[in-house]
Amino acid sequence: MSAAIEPGLADPVGQAQQIFRAALHALAHPGRRTALPCAACVGGLAGGIAGLLLALADETTPVWWQPPLAAALADWLRFHTGAPRAEDPQQAAFAVVARPQALPALARFAAGTPAAPEFSTTLLIAVPSLSGGAELEWHGPGIAGALRVEVDGLAPSFWADWQANHAAFPQGVDALLVAGEALVGLPRTTRVRRLEAI
């Protein structure tokens, strides 16, 4: 069976609602690990990200796919959700990042406008692990005081880039970091301080 017609969620309504709630919880509570109901892996795409796309994307949300992800994945998602493919990151409502070490600069994605900051890109980033990386201290809404977080697999430049993204609030991108069946939300409101050299 080709990726364009591989199955989506077994229970499209029930599972999509569970995944949607998990994503909202993760963004409302940055840095806290959230269990993510997963779809099966599709064409090499991690199941957690596949599930997020099936739950969040629709015909109004263009999706940018990090090269060299196969065009068949975009066809698969369009079949199940109607989501179009964004050729330019600035056009994307969602961006699928399977190789976080090669993530483009965050400024390349849509940041919204001062009048409509919600029209920005949400990054869906597959990381090897949500532990074992450099230790970080997160502050901001949804975090009581400070929270120590580790994320493995992101490029060292990501966190400096994130500081600039946070400083642009209310504009800026949001991110969902996915490792297997675990999810961590990183909204633009979150300030990150490095506790050790990355």
* Domain at 35, CATH number: 3.40.50.11310
**How many Å separate Cα 48 from the centre of its chain?**
10
User: What is the per-residue pLDDT for 196?
Assistant: 61
How many folded domains does the chain comprise? Answer: 1
Confidence band of 3 (pLDDT split at 50, 70, 90): very low
pTM for the full predicted model: 0.92
Q: Is residue 22 part of a domain?
A: yes
Q: Is residue 1 part of a domain?
A: no
Looking at the predicted structure, is the pLDDT value of residue 180 above 70? Answer: yes
What is the model's pLDDT at position 80?
Answer: 92
pLDDT of 107 higher than 70: yes
The parent domain of residue 142 ranges over 9-194
> Has residue 93 been placed in a domain?
yes
Question: Is the pLDDT reported for residue 92 higher than 60?
Answer: yes
pLDDT recorded at residue 198: 43
In a domain, 166, yes or no: yes
Give the pLDDT confidence score for residue 4 in this predicted structure: 42
> Residue 16: inside a domain, yes or no?
yes
Which pLDDT score, from 0 to 100, does residue 71 have? 82
**Which tokens is 172 given?**
């800026």
Nearest residue to 139 via CA among 166, 165, 101: 166
Residue 101, in any domain of the structure = yes
Residue 4 lies inside a defined structural domain of this protein: no
- pLDDT tens, 37-70? 776 667 667 778 999 999 999 999 999 999 877 7
115 inside domain: yes
